Structure 1
Amino acid sequence: MRLQSLPVVAGFAVLALIVGTRALLVEGQRANRAAARETIEYQQQLSGLLSLAQDAEAGQRGYLLTGEKSYLEPYQKAVDAIPGQLARIDAMTSSNDQLAPLISQIKGALAQKQAELAVTIALYDKGDASKALELVRSGQGKAAMDDIRASMDTIRRIGAADIAARDEQTDQVEAWLRVGSLTALVAIFLLGAYTIRQSRRRFREVATAQEELMRKNIELGNEIDTREKAESQIRQMQKMEAVGQLTGGIAHDFNNMLAVILSAMNLAQRKLKRGENDIEKFIEAATDAANRAANLTSRLLAFSRLQPLAPQVVDTNRLLTGMSDLLHRALGEGIRVETVLAAGLWKTYADPSQIENAILNLAVNARDAMDNDGKLTIETANSHLDEAYAATHAEVTPGQYVMIAVTDTGTGMSPEVIAKAFEPFFTTKPVNKGTGLGLSQVFGFVKQSGGHVKIYSEPGQGTTIRIYLPRFFGAEEPAAPAGHGKSTARVTETILVVEDDARVRAATTDAMRELGYTVIHVGSGQEALQKLAATSDIALLFTDIVMPAMNGRKLAEEAVARQPGLKVIFTTGFTRNAVVHNGVLDHDVHFLAKPFTIEQLEAKLRDVLDAKG
């Protein structure tokens, strides 16, 4: 067996030697190319330095001959640029002891030349033109330039000699490689003959091996069934773990917020009972906690792709331009923001407010990753995701997209962090520094909009997050008129509020009355229709959507049929309902999500009541 294996081992050894030698040759060629590039770049830097010195000399000569100050412009530009050029040359020379003395000679000669130029210009400026020209004719400047050129020529010869030596070494390796290749051919021929001989014997063993293989396949099939059952159980456990993480995160954050609200309300009640009125800070704390709870719910709905979207045709470049002040205020003075907006950018069809929220979320995350000191780049581009890309990324449909990239110079992410970055409540920030919902909200919005989001990052190299939103095809619809906001006119309208939850109904009614409206409130759709028939001056129907017997959509259709021109606003705390389909609000539907502030309620009421039609 050892003798039979010897040709195979020898053949493979020769092949391995040839492959290794070829690899070394390739690496040598790469090194030669790199050295050649460095030599060329180095010589270009030297040529640039010589060109600057010549520009300075030409500017000086022109000034001395004509007296025109304009001739000093190239001189001054050259003098200003020479230190930077020398710094780049020094950086490239730092590891080369052979070139360092020559560079020192160039620096000395250049300093002499600059001194000669400065002195002659100063003499001319003082009115001593003859002495300035005499200094020029003395040949000091020419000698300095000759020294510079001579040193540069020496450096060029050294570079050429180095490249020639490398080429000679490569030629020697190629010669040995040709000999080795011939040896490899012989070894391969012997290996082929040995293989043919062995194959005849092994063919006889195939039949026996096939029978054994069939038996093993049966055993393997049984093993696969067993493993699939085990993997199914593991997947179920992982799902339960993910649900537990999500539930735990929600419970943790909501309990914290509820603790603030309960504590603040209890303290406020105690103070009121004692006749004390300094309860504003408790009300502010409770309101802040309630707002954070509402924001948490909104982010969870975004992650689960259940938030109601109001998409429009969006010019992303214009949107980013409008966000400039907002970004600078949110990021602070330590972050340098740069926008790179593509010319001829396609339009996309998405909810512009959610695009702004997504960009702001990414920008704030980037600011934290840079510890409030770094550069943030926001870029737009037209992009095409092809079939090959879609095959390696789930939920991606091949086609044309508008790409928004947010790049930071922060700490970057490891592959393990990237894999979990979009999970809700996952965060690498310190305690109380992040909810872990920012990226999950971005992910949910982009997916709900039919887009794609991708993270590119390495530890210590910063992070780029790219959002791809589908390109919009078709004619652009006219933009909806802007809301009227807070009206200065006296409120006179009557509103019918329909809400099956008595506490929510009472709170909504009180808020509207606080705003000055006349309010009629009922708890069901049937009662609403009766009130509508009995009251002729109702201007707006404000109805919950999810109600027993008759939901808000059916109520609105019946009410408008009975009273054409009646304005309708829908409200709900859950968006999978009769006015939201595929995550998008139905056309011409006015919607206000629960919970809402009195300011949001006021703005929505005026927008709808003041709208034409």
Structure 2
Amino acid sequence: MEPEIQNSALLDAILEAAVDAIIVADKHGVIQRANGAAFALFGYPAEEMLGQNVKSLMPMDMAAQHDGFMQHYMETGEKRIIGIGRDVEGLRRNGAVFPLNLSVGHSRIDEQDMFVGILHDLTQRKATEDALARSQRLEAIGQMTGGIAHDFNNLLTVVIGNLELMEMRSTDSRQLSLLRDALDAAELGAELTSRLLVFARKSNLKPVRTNLGKLCEKTLAIIRRTVGSAITITAECDPNVDPVLIDPSELQSALMNLALNARDAMGKGGDLLISVSNVAIDDTYIAQETDIAPGKYVRLSVSDDGAGMNEEAQKRAFEPFFTTKSESSGTGLGLAMVYGFVKQSGGHITLYSEPGLGTSFGLYFPAITSDRSEEKSDQASVSESGYLPTQEKTILVVEDNEKVRRLSLERMRNLGFRVLEAENGDAAYAMLKNGAEVDLVFSDLVMPGDLNGYDLAAKINAEFPKVKVLLTSGYVSDVITRGMAHSKPYDILHKPYRQPDLAHRIQALLAEVDDD
């Protein structure tokens, strides 16, 4: 083999073997070479990326500065970007902006200036850092809150004690009235500090072995009286769930807080679903999706079809005194107390919400199991590859949350499928209309744009009858999606789901195609 041919083959092998994206551009920024990782990272086919300017891969503000940076370097040799790795933002073909680390090197090849960019996707790291920052913020707020509440309790003890002594010694009715008002206010202050101690995880819990399903059933009567007749409550409290170690009275208080929050979010009326079930987190994908350690849990879910929360509200939902309600209708301590109780009980809490469609809370408590080996069920023991890669089926993943979409793509590839992706129902429908050949569409239910999951499924059934559809939802129940118009019932794979569950559902749907 000729040396030049050998060197070219070696370069091609290195480019394609590289995990990170590599882009080679000339001094004008025109892309000359790129590897498969680069095409995948930005969502371009090779023929579209090669020959275009690197500025098309940058957000507008960064693209506007690019030529100036390059001209300055070529004229002065001063390194502001070249030879220095830095965190920047990239622009995908679908318009999504994402974080990445960029390192640029300069070389001369055949008397031409060439620039090699190595790009590493930071989306997963950024999501992890954001989650850690939220956790650390809540931890810091909890420590501060606990200290303040403790000191205020000491002060209030002195205030209440002296007011009581004055009340016993006073004979003036006018003074007695003032003293009792002061005592009432001080006791309200003491109640407030006790709530703050729950958030700070410094309350005196009395955990006992408890059947969460039966406890939930007992609490329902109180909840029904409290939320009123305008709210339709559906309960799915399995009495045969594994026992958990919790404080029953605090659990009832947490459930009441969530139910009252749901009532306020639904306004004049709506549907509320409360469910209790066993959940096995024995799949690495579920652990990534929920940030919960693997193991057996009992999950208490509270879902409503109310106003929902925007992204900012979801980030701050568990902070004390944060509330989206008016000043007269909430203290902002309800969810903070729930969070503190769950964490102090060794559990985890998840929140999933969409503005205008409702909210679902999941409270996960470690199960007490007699079989400590925690053997997997027959379904879980199914091989995670589940489907034969040789069948070469193609799946279109439709998901607006970029982190979840990337995870879903990874799951599909692990099952041996070829994959395509779309960020919403509108984009997926456009891909199908433009001739994308797929065997199955795996779509989220709630997405921005004109087409939600039901709408997309209806169009696929009508126009592409050979293409199967599997819908998925981050809500624990269908109570939130009942308001979406759809002409036929669809089977929903609820998040978080295990890899064997996903494999079984897809196998069943694709088997229908093979039988046709």
**Greater CA radius of gyration, 1 or 2?**
1
Q: Return the TM-score normalized by structure 1.
A: 0.35
Considering fraction of residues, name the structure with more strand. 2
